[in-house]
Amino acid sequence: MRSERLHGTELSYARSVTDRPDSTRDERPVESNKAGSGRSDRRRPAFAEWLHAANRGTQVIDAVRRVRVLLPGDPAFGDPLSTSGPGSARAVARAAERFAGDEPRAAREIGLGALQVWQAALERVGRGKGSREVTVVFTDLVGFSSWSLGAGDEATLELLRKVAKAIEPPIVDRGGHVVKRMGDGLMAVFPSADKAIQAVVAAKKNLADVEVAGLRPEMRVGIHTGAPKEIGGDWLGVDVTIAARVMEAGGNGNVMMSAATLQALRPDTLEDLGYTVKPYRRSFFAGPLQGVPEDLRIFTLKRI
């Protein structure tokens, strides 16, 4: 109890909690925790500031990019060209770009490097030029544009559907992959030159039975074997350009192949199919092929 005198009257009342002599003991742990928290808070901003500076440091970013060049896959993985198309790694990269933006960051480069290796494992390709040899095939219908103007949209659509039904199953059945369709043509990739030739011969045979609005379509084909690079679900590189240019030499429905494809064929493949090859000679009035090596040799597929 504690007593005080007010206007000559003595008052008595119980001690409060704050009046206890040992009340300071309850406050000491709190003061101790606050002191420890202050030291931790001083360390945290310093560490966070270091991470912030390292993440934006040009030297750190350049070092990570140099490491990415040594990793499998595309060292520029992360740009719109490399992340377009289907695939889990590409989808993650697109989402990351929307979230993190495209400002230079070390953390961004590290994350893209991991996705680069992941995508390379899915595509089984190495750095720079593709690490495996494939055979690229381009097809095109002769005179399609002129015919479609007079035939109309309905007949044009019917023709394209019948053409796809005639030529795409032989491609898939022989291990080929249709990379893209381009109006009346397509681009396909095969694991071997033999499979590509077999698919093209079968496709041409099926196409002979197609007729729409008086048109029996003729298909010219270009085949080239090389090591293009697979990026974003597409195939890019000089070898793809050569295959497209080889097709342009096909004229009115011929099957053309480069010397690289001819050399990649097994000795008995053409004979088993009933075909042989003849060296291509550019006509006097035909312009030279653009974007191909000067020593490119082309051959025309001929039935025996």
Q: Which tens digit of pLDDT belongs to each residue from 172-207?
A: 999 999 999 998 999 999 999 999 999 999 999 999
Instruction: Please report, as a single letter, which amino acid is at residue 86.
Output: P
What's residue 268's pLDDT? 96
Instruction: Please report, as a single letter, which amino acid is at residue 297.
Output: R
Q: Which of 248, 229, 247 is nearest to 239 (CA)?
A: 229
Strand 219-226 and strand 229-231: pairing?
unpaired
In angstroms, rounded to a whole number, what is the distance separating the alpha carbons of residues 188 and 175?
A: 10
Q: Which of 182, 174, 219 is nearest to 199 (CA)?
A: 174
Q: What is the mean pLDDT of the chain?
A: 79
In angstroms, rounded to a whole number, what is the distance separating the alpha carbons of residues 221 and 138?
A: 6
What's residue 236's pLDDT? 86
What's residue 253's pLDDT? 94
Segment 80-94, tens digit of pLDDT = 655 555 565 656 666
Over residues 15-40, mean pLDDT: 51
Instruction: Please report, as a single letter, which amino acid is at residue 273.
Output: L
What percent of the chain is predicted at pLDDT more than 90? 46
More confident residue, 121 or 241: 241
DSSP string, 75-113: TTBTBHHHH-SS-HHHHHHHHHHHHH-SS--HHHHHHHH
Which of 21-35, 59-73, 181-195, 219-233 is predicted least confidently?
21-35
What's residue 128's pLDDT? 42
Over residues 29-58, mean pLDDT: 61
User: Between the ranges 13-17, 208-212, 285-289, where is the mean pLDDT highest?
Assistant: 208-212
What's residue 125's pLDDT? 45
In angstroms, rounded to a whole number, what is the distance separating the alpha carbons of residues 80 and 109?
A: 15
SS3 168: helix
More confident residue, 283 or 209: 209
Over residues 259-264, mean pLDDT: 97
End-to-end CA distance of the chain: 124
What's residue 126's pLDDT? 41
What's the chain's Rg over C-alpha atoms? 36
Instruction: State how far the alpha carbon of 235 is from the alpha carbons of 84, 230, 231, 256, in Å.
Output: 12, 4, 6, 20
Structure tokens at 136: 């690229």
Segment 99-150, tens digit of pLDDT = 555 566 777 677 777 766 766 665 554 444 456 899 999 999 999 999 999 9
Q: In what order do the strands lie in the sheet with 298-303?
A: 177-182, 185-190, 134-141, 219-226, 255-258, 298-303, 275-279
Q: Which of 251, 246, 248, 226 is nearest to 237 (CA)?
A: 226
